[in-house]
């Protein structure tokens, strides 16, 4: 028997289930990973007996047969989907066809990821199938260890990221300062304008446009505020870009902080502690070290410098109020984490390292690269200066 994913087969043996079941659309990264398909619609993927088998709407079947690398593509109509819609309604027809599909493979119990739809789980249970929520999300565990091709896909997205960052830096360097505000070519330089420059670079590089962060002033302190309005001299500008390569589906992630003109002493101190934390994290990363230990080392740096962290105040919005990093791959946020409770790193993990220092109402700074864990440490997938970029 071939076994496409031995780690998943091992999970099934431990859980005592016959198969691993996904019910999602191709935007779900577990689904995309197992099926090799980026689909518009919802479909079912079953991993059992070492093989990936799909159950797809009939209108997706020609494309699935052409594009998927699954071992089998079955159509809903094989399992009486049309009659089930009439008899049981459209919401239950899919889960009931899935129950018949499982029966066809002799599968009586399945593990499912935490995000598996409750509607499907409960309908399968009503049909006598045991459904076990797998809180370890075993497929994400498989995905957390990247192949060389996956690592290169992330690295390619980072090349696009660096080009975008260089374009931002050139624009800020070219800008003049009038009444404290950046101006260029007769217009005020805003977050929106900087974002357009980034989007044009990413588009040219074959990346999907996702909203990126260009935030200065008080907005730089807010989690996930994308930033808006004029950029002022002396204020740090956080530029956080996370492009997805359209062809591969893999994502990059990188942050630099820029200042036009002279940053004040407080901003320099924020950056200094952030840079020290960044270096401390990298020095700690190697196989066998836990993501929690890396995060703890970063918190040590901030706390020693007198800044709050989520370890000293679970509700803080100031200091370092987010974890050190997260895996990237098909998802922007995936396993492993550099955070509380995170387990041991292993070769092939691809993670961000992104400490930052913030003060609500004032501003913030952040520095972020993506590294791959190697046999003896890490390899940084980024190549861009890491100091506070004073332009």
- Nearer to a second copy by C-beta: 125 or 379? 125
Instruction: Give 215's contacts (C-beta < 8 A, 6+ positions apart).
Output: 191, 222, 225, 226, 227, 237, 238, 240
Structure tokens at 265: 């002493």
Alpha-carbon torsion 21, 27, 33, 35, what sign?
A: positive
The 8 Å CB, 24+ separation contacts for 173-182 are 173/391, 175/260, 177/233, 177/260, 177/261, 180/232, 180/233, 180/234, 181/230, 181/231, 181/232, 181/233, 182/230, 182/231, 182/232, 182/233, 182/260
- Does position 128 bind a second copy by CB under 8 A? no
- Does position 241 bind a second copy by CB under 8 A? no
In this chain, which stretch among 106-114, 152-160, 261-269, 273-281 interacts with a second copy, using CB under 8 A?
106-114
- Nearer to a second copy by C-beta: 39 or 158? 39
**Closest approach of Cβ 130 to a second copy, in Å?**
12
In this chain, which stretch among 77-85, 158-166, 257-265, 280-288 interacts with a second copy, using CB under 8 A?
77-85
Among 73, 214, 251, 310, binds a second copy (CB under 8 A): 310
In this chain, which stretch among 130-138, 265-273, 280-288, 374-382 interacts with a second copy, using CB under 8 A?
130-138
**Closest approach of Cβ 74 to a second copy, in Å?**
11
Cα 243 from Cα 273, distance rounded (Å): 27
- Does position 225 bind a second copy by CB under 8 A? yes
- Does position 322 bind a second copy by CB under 8 A? yes
Length of the chain: 391
Please answer whether residues 97 and 75 qualify as being in contact, where contact means their C-beta atoms are separated by less than 8 angstroms. no
Residues that bind a second copy in the complex, under the rule CB under 8 A: 39-41, 58-63, 66, 75, 77-78, 81-82, 85-86, 89-92, 112-123, 131, 133, 135-137, 208-209, 222-225, 310, 314-315, 317, 321-322, 333, 337, 339-342, 360
């Amino acid at each position: 028997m071939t076994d496409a994913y031995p780690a998943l087969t091992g999970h099934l043996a431990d859980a005592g289930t016959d198969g691993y079941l996904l019910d999602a659309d191709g935007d779900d990264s577990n689904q995309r990973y197992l099926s090799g398909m980026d689909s518009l619609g919802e479909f079912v993927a079953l991993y059992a007996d070492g093989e990936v088998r799909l159950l797809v709407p009939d209108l997706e079947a020609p494309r699935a047969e052409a594009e998927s690398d699954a071992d089998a593509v079955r159509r809903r109509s094989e399992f009486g989907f049309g009659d089930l819609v009439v008899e049981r309604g459209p919401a239950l027809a899919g889960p009931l066809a899935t129950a018949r599909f499982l029966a066809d493979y002799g599968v009586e119990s399945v593990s499912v990821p935490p995000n598996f739809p409750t509607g499907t789980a409960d309908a399968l249970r009503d049909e006598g199938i045991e459904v076990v929520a797998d809180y370890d999300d075993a497929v994400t565990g498989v995905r957390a260890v990247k192949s060389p091709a996956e690592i290169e896909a992330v690295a390619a997205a980072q090349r696009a990221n660096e080009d975008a960052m260089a374009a931002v830096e050139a624009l800020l360097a070219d800008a003049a300062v009038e009444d404290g505000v950046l101006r260029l070519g007769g217009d005020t330089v805003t977050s929106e304008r900087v974002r357009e420059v980034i989007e044009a670079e990413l588009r040219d590089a074959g990346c999907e446009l996702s909203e990126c962060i260009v935030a200065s002033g008080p907005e730089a302190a807010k989690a996930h505020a994308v930033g808006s309005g004029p950029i002022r001299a002396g204020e740090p500008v956080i530029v956080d870009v996370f492009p997805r390569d359209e062809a591969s589906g893999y994502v990059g992630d990188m942050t630099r902080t820029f200042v036009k003109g002279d940053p004040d002493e407080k901003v320099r101190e924020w950056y200094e502690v952030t840079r020290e934390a960044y270096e401390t994290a990298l020095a700690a990363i190697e196989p066998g070290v836990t993501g929690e230990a890396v995060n703890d080392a970063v918190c040590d740096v901030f706390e020693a410098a007198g800044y709050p962290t989520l370890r000293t105040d679970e509700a803080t919005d100031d200091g370092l109020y987010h974890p050190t990093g997260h895996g990237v791959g098909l998802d922007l946020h995936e396993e492993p984490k550099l955070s509380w409770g995170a387990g041991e790193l292993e070769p092939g993990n691809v993670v961000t390292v992104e400490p930052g220092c913030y003060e609500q109402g004032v501003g913030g700074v952040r520095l972020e690269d993506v590294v791959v864990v190697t046999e003896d440490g890490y390899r940084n997938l980024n190549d861009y200066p890491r100091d506070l970029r004073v332009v």
